[in-house]
């Protein structure tokens, strides 16, 4: 049974996430303690007690989501003997989740990953002044049509496909006026829905170039190991194990498209039969069911879900 572990991105955060894991498992609590120490902040308090407005801040949400994902993997190992090296064919993560995947696969230390995501969150937030950028989800549209809508709407401004999540769900990102135009064009072309997203910055577009530069500088200063299993990188939708390529892909990912539909499709084509979403929420579980309907998709974020997963994998 070929298994892939996938790791959620921003938007999957929720106050209280990871608390049940920390209460039940010392291996999970150790993860949150180490992230708190690496950041010099009680991020775990924000995660468990809120307020939601503070947890949602990009600079907090990114390391927080990673911490929950890594805690899940540590519990799977400590309680059930399930490891990536032994049990997984691939790992992949959606946007910031790629860092979670790399941390789980031993490419970065936990402390370095937390610090990288704090830098990434701060840099992405600072790249575009509030109100100047926007993102919109186009529903009921394929990628080629969405990309054409973005090109038509640009009119000299930045407007590009940021997330190719599934057939029927593509997110555009760019200058606010261009995104507003894209929504009108989409409606005129009969797209089912065009929804402005409640995000604080226009992620995964050319406006994020200052953040890409910041990540190039930060990644040059950390130790990058080869992962224990291939990572399916967002920007190439294929397997990567070379540390230099991993670094280059992470820099490109800040301004590039998250090719999630293709990432899941690649893994399914390689024989993956089970997709496990390790961390908070069930967004990627839903997308796996759309992108690889013949596979099993399971979420593992709570003690009960982890137990159910372990039972399934052993069964």
Residues annotated as catalytic (active site), given as ranges? 95, 204
Q: Are residues 83 and 35 in contact, defined by beta-carbon separation less than 8 angstroms?
A: no
Return the exposure string of 33-61: e unless at least 16 CB atoms fall within 10 Å of the residue's CB, then b.
ebbbebbebebbebbbeeeeebbbbbbbb
Q: Are residues 84 and 91 in contact, defined by beta-carbon separation less than 8 angstroms?
A: yes
Burial zone of 130 (CB within 10 Å; 0-12 exposed, 13-18 middle, 19+ buried): exposed
Q: Are residues 307 and 32 in contact, defined by beta-carbon separation less than 8 angstroms?
A: no
218: left (phi over 0), alpha (psi -120 to 50) or beta: alpha
Nearest CA to 249 out of 272, 230, 276 is that of: 230
Distances (CA, A) of 245 to 91, 190, 231: 16, 40, 11
SS3 of residue 239 by DSSP: strand
Beta bridge pairs of residue 169: 139, 166
Q: Is the peptide bond before 51 cis (omega within 30 degrees of 0)?
A: yes
User: Taking the mean position of all CA atoms in its chain, how far away is CA 44?
Assistant: 19
Beta bridge pairs of residue 161: 172
What tokens appear for 185 in the block? 């064009």
């Amino acid at each position: 049974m070929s298994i892939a572990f996938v790791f959620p991105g921003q938007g999957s955060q929720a106050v209280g996430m990871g608390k049940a894991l920390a209460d039940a498992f010392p291996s999970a609590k150790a993860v949150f303690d180490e992230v708190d120490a690496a950041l010099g902040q009680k991020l775990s308090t924000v995660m468990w007690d809120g307020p939601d407005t503070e947890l949602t801040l990009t600079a907090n949400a990114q390391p927080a989501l990673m911490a929950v994902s890594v805690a899940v993997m540590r519990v799977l190992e400590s309680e059930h003997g399930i490891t990536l090296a032994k049990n997984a064919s691939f790992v992949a993560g959606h946007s910031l989740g790629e860092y979670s995947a790399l941390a789980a696969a031993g490419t970065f230390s936990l402390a370095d990953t937390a610090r990288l995501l704090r830098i990434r969150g701060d840099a992405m937030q600072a790249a575009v002044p509030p109100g100047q950028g926007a993102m919109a989800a186009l529903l009921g549209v394929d990628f080629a049509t969405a990309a054409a809508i973005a090109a038509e709407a640009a009119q000299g401004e930045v407007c590009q496909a940021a997330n190719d999540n599934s057939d029927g769900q593509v997110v555009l990102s760019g200058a606010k006026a261009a995104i507003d135009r894209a929504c009108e064009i989409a409606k005129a072309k009969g797209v089912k829905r065009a929804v402005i997203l409640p995000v604080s910055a226009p992620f995964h577009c050319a406006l994020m170039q200052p953040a890409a530069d910041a990540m190039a500088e930060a990644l040059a200063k950390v130790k990058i190991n080869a992962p224990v299993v291939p990572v399916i990188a967002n920007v190439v939708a294929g397997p990567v194990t070379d540390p230099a390529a991993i670094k280059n892909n992470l820099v490109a990912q800040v301004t590039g498209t998250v090719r999630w539909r293709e990432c899941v499709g690649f893994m399914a084509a390689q024989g993956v039969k089970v997709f496990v979403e390790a961390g908070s929420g069930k967004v990627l579980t839903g997308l796996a069911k759309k992108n690889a309907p013949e596979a099993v998709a399971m979420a593992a974020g709570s003690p009960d879900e982890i137990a159910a997963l372990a039972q399934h994998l052993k069964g």
